[in-house]
Structure 1
Amino acid sequence: MLTVITCLADAADERLMREIRSTDHDVAARVGSAHEVIDAIRGRAVDGVIVSATRRHLSLDVLAEADEAGVRIVAVADGDAERRYALSLGLFEVVDVHAPWSDIEALLRGGITVPHSAAPPRGAGTVIAVWGPAGSPGRTTIAIQLASELALRGRTVALVDADTYGGAVAPSLGMLDESPSFAAACRLASRDSLTLAELERVASRYTSPRSEFWILSGIGRASRWPELGTDRVASVLSTCRQWVDYVVVDTGFNLETDEEIASDMFAPRRNAATLAALRQADHVVAVGSADPIGLSRFLRAHVDLLEQVETAQISVVINRLRASSVGSNAQHQVQQTLRRFGGLDNAVFVPLDVPGVDSAVLSGKTIHDAAPRSPVRSAIAHLVDVDILPPSAQATSRKQTRRAARQRAKTGPLQTLRARRLG
């Protein structure tokens, strides 16, 4: 028997109440607004909450309270606008206003039908955190291209947007970004409900004839950063390791812990998602901009990065290299600066390619799909082959890669993923 709280608009209230009462389930409270839902959750031990997907009945505070109590919420949507509203809050348990009680009961019990076939747990995948200092050095561009190149080489990849200041992965790939799936995964993780099937349910998918990968999109509003707590992010990334071969995490820039100025030592931290991703990472790609200000910011922040990263390998990527900002023989100039002031050698240099990057953003594609001859793509491909993939994996020939791309185009992305996992 389930004990539930309902907060429904008239369109669904009477019908669902009749259906629930015809079963052995119990309605602990029948309330009319979001703040009343919060009071009801705090005052009762319940198994679930059923709400209408409107601003009056559903809010972020309701989701936070339900997460704290370990209670699952199902939203009832009367039309596309209400469904989009629930998704914008990171709530994926949404049914139509005319859905029968049996569908809602299945969601409350966690028996969710997943359209993709999740693989059984495998060996731990690799987490790659892409970090860079303030000033937009190109973290998101590098993270997207890393995911694309790894997928092109036959690896299963998840691209995670963990930037609590300005997540941009989904907009960069032409997605509506109306449902922050990384926040949804964190909510599931907070109540120990995150499984491989749930990840495939909430995640989006980038597909092209050349490559395909999963996307856990970032929060749409920076004010939602408290949803991405340390334990939640660590739990999601740990589950992602069992889901795919490589997890590429686009992080924020700020590495401050704020411990000395926080009045509550147990309060959420704005930079918790970035710090948790860096501590979970097996490999950190540190991105800087190839101009005097960008290099100065990078070298100063790189010292703080080393304090946060203990065992992970760090690869330095200097983005937007051009002679107009640092003078002739730009690569040599930047190499000398990195070596003199940071003791850094073996950086990967990514040339400035405004037409190629603009073409990718305009078309909502990866650079590999929009401008395959771009020098940006070549530089990131070199990083993947030399620093990220193990030596045994680098022997994959271009002929094999093209054959795999043709096979994906014939079978479709989901069938390819299933075949790859079964193999």
Structure 2
Amino acid sequence: MALQVFTAVTGAAWESELVGALDREDHGVTVVRRCVDVADLLAAATTGTGQAALLSAELRRLDGAAVARLTAAGVAVVGLVEPGDDRSAERLRQLGVVRVLSADAEPEEIARALREAVAGVPAAGHDVGDPRAALPALGLPPEGPGPPAGEGRVVAVWGPTGAPGRTTVAVGLADEAARLGVGTLLVDADVYGGVVAQVLGLLDESPGLAAAARQAGAGTLDVAALARLAWSVRPRLRALTGLARPDRWPELRPQGVAVVLGEARRLAALTVVDCGFSVEEDEELSFDTAAPRRNGATLTVLEAADTVVCVSGADPVALQRTVRALGELRDVLPGVHPVVVVNQVRRGPVPGDPRREIAAALARFTGCEVAAFLPADRRATDAALAAGRTLGEVAPGSALRTALRALAAELTGVPVPTGRRRVRRSG
């Protein structure tokens, strides 16, 4: 059976000749529709009549979200560029088009690339609006992707609704990792109310992650551009600020966020991402067209991260929320196994020894062990917030800072310096 292909190479002088050469029986390819623009191509993809799409780099309004939606619909994508146009070829690859050929390639070579692309695309398992469609479009495995050789790690800091201290932990981990000599990028990806900029005393109207995601969607983001968008907080620590207003969440499209994380791995040895709390997939929302989903960015970060740190509060209400949140995470992303950290530990809300009681409760109801307990230290956190600085700057001797430093050392594999001075011997 011939491979059914859509084409979207309008405006190219070689379009008619190429379509005619491909649509021959001996190539095993049948052009079922010649699309005039991206909207026409996406509409055709939803009909299920085609298995692959052949598109040109000059196609107007082509972005990463469109490529992700094609892949989600089970349509493989092959790109064509003008001979010698390496810049357009690189842009297509960043948008998620793995196979890119020169427009002067032989029809047999193009047909073979289309067949190989189709063989590498799984059957449509997600709706075209599913945020997880962004990862397959980038060539990443659907669950548990590890960092490519020689590239940085991504740590997602996540937790249930309420105020368990996700941002405090994310900022503390990033700052302490940088102080241990690890180049670190802190990313605010909380779509419900990111406050990393305020915590660090930065200008909250800076473009930050939203601008990076826009450039990623257009295929123009690279390491240099990401570095320009990130604040230099202190030596070895950069920060990519979040949304200035929660109602701007549609700007953080999952595919764009996935590309940002990929470039972040190249920019920094460690990327710490402060996530939103919700992992609901909004399955009740069904549209004829793909609608943006608020939690898509969070799901993308959690699935792409090498380590997910779940931050829980230490009182009965917070613990109940954590139990429910871990259950929801297990249902939505069964391949993600978070590291549980209990924050704001103190005597009073939990009878007896709080650490022992909390550890026993979480083990019983979630099956998870507690990796670290972070003590409540209101005086230190208040001082840091008032100054717009980190705990390491305003309260270097606080118990919370010490615990965060130990956790950062464990996550990065860099030991905490002992601080002992060598004694010079005379003679």
Q: Which TM-score band (shorter chain)?
A: 0.5 to 0.7
Alignment correspondent of 2:298: 274
Confirm or deny: 8 A CA contact 2:341 2:371 kept in the other structure: yes
Q: Offset at 1:292?
A: 0.7
Task: Say if 2:339 is the partner of 1:315.
Answer: yes
Alignment correspondent of 2:273: 249
State which of 412, 420, 423 in structure 2 corresponds to 1:389: 412
Confirm or deny: 8 A CA contact 1:278 1:308 kept in the other structure: no
Task: Say if 2:147 is the partner of 1:127.
Answer: no
Alignment correspondent of 2:219: 192
State which of 155, 164, 175 in structure 2 corresponds to 1:137: 164
State which of 319, 343, 353 in structure 2 corresponds to 1:295: 319
Confirm or deny: 8 A CA contact 1:282 1:312 kept in the other structure: no
Alignment correspondent of 1:230: 254
5+ residue gaps in structure 1? 1-41, 43-66, 71-109, 111-120, 404-423
Alignment correspondent of 1:165: 192
Q: Offset at 1:312?
A: 5.0
Query: Once the two structures are superposed, what CA deviation does each residue of 1:260-318 show, in whole Å capped at 9, x if it has no partner?
Result: 33334621100011000001100000001100100000011111223344555521111
- Number of aligned residue pairs: give it: 285
Alignment correspondent of 1:215: 239
Confirm or deny: 8 A CA contact 1:145 1:380 kept in the other structure: yes
SS in 2 for 1:123: coil
Alignment correspondent of 1:368: 392
Q: Which amino acid aligns with 2:251?
A: E
Alignment correspondent of 1:179: 206
Alignment correspondent of 1:343: 367
Q: Which amino acid aligns with 1:130?
A: V
Query: Once the two structures are superposed, what CA deviation does each residue of 1:338-378 show, in whole Å capped at 9, x if it has no partner?
Result: 12211222331111110000111111111111111111112
Q: Offset at 1:329?
A: 1.6
Query: Once the two structures are superposed, what CA deviation does each residue of 1:71-98 show, in whole Å capped at 9, x if it has no partner?
Result: xxxxxxxxxxxxxxxxxxxxxxxxxxxx
Query: Once the two structures are superposed, what CA deviation does each residue of 1:140-168 show, in whole Å capped at 9, x if it has no partner?
Result: 00000010111111111100000000010
Confirm or deny: 8 A CA contact 1:146 1:380 kept in the other structure: yes
Q: Offset at 1:231?
A: 0.4
Structure 2: distance between partners of 1:124 and 1:242: 6
Q: Offset at 1:68?
A: 4.5
Q: Offset at 1:239?
A: 0.9
Confirm or deny: 8 A CA contact 1:259 1:265 kept in the other structure: no
5+ residue gaps in structure 2? 1-37, 39-59, 64-90, 92-147, 423-427
Alignment correspondent of 1:357: 381
1:147-162 equivalent positions in 2, closer than 5 A: 147-162=174-189
SS in 2 for 1:160: strand
Structure 1: distance between partners of 2:369 and 2:223: 39
Confirm or deny: 8 A CA contact 2:232 2:239 kept in the other structure: yes
RMSD of aligned residue pairs (Cα, Å)? 2.8
Confirm or deny: 8 A CA contact 2:181 2:236 kept in the other structure: no
Flag as ranges the 4+ runs of structure 1 deviating above 4 A: 67-70, 308-313
Confirm or deny: 8 A CA contact 1:145 1:367 kept in the other structure: yes
Structure 2: distance between partners of 1:341 and 1:310: 17
Confirm or deny: 8 A CA contact 1:162 1:274 kept in the other structure: yes
Query: Once the two structures are superposed, what CA deviation does each residue of 1:1-43 show, in whole Å capped at 9, x if it has no partner?
Result: xxxxxxxxxxxxxxxxxxxxxxxxxxxxxxxxxxxxxxxxx9x
Confirm or deny: 8 A CA contact 2:212 2:221 kept in the other structure: yes
Structure 1 305/328 Cα, relative in aligned 2: closer, same or farther at 3 Å? same
Confirm or deny: 8 A CA contact 2:342 2:370 kept in the other structure: no
TM-score, reference length from structure 1 = 0.63
Structure 1 335/233 Cα, relative in aligned 2: closer, same or farther at 3 Å? same
Alignment correspondent of 1:48: none
Alignment correspondent of 1:206: 233
Structure 1 164/200 Cα, relative in aligned 2: closer, same or farther at 3 Å? same
Structure 1: distance between partners of 2:236 and 2:412: 18
Stretch of structure 1 that moved more, 155-164 or 312-321: 312-321
Structure 1 324/236 Cα, relative in aligned 2: closer, same or farther at 3 Å? same
Alignment correspondent of 1:19: none
Q: Which amino acid aligns with 2:200?
A: L
Query: Once the two structures are superposed, what CA deviation does each residue of 1:154-187 show, in whole Å capped at 9, x if it has no partner?
Result: 1111000000000100000111211131000001
Q: Which amino acid aligns with 2:214?
A: R
Q: Offset at 1:246?
A: 0.5
Confirm or deny: 8 A CA contact 2:212 2:226 kept in the other structure: yes
More helix by share: 1
Identity of aligned residues (%): 42
Structure 2: distance between partners of 1:222 and 1:180: 14
Structure 2: distance between partners of 1:359 and 1:122: 40
Q: Which amino acid aligns with 2:412?
A: L
Structure 1 352/397 Cα, relative in aligned 2: closer, same or farther at 3 Å? closer
Structure 1 134/265 Cα, relative in aligned 2: closer, same or farther at 3 Å? farther
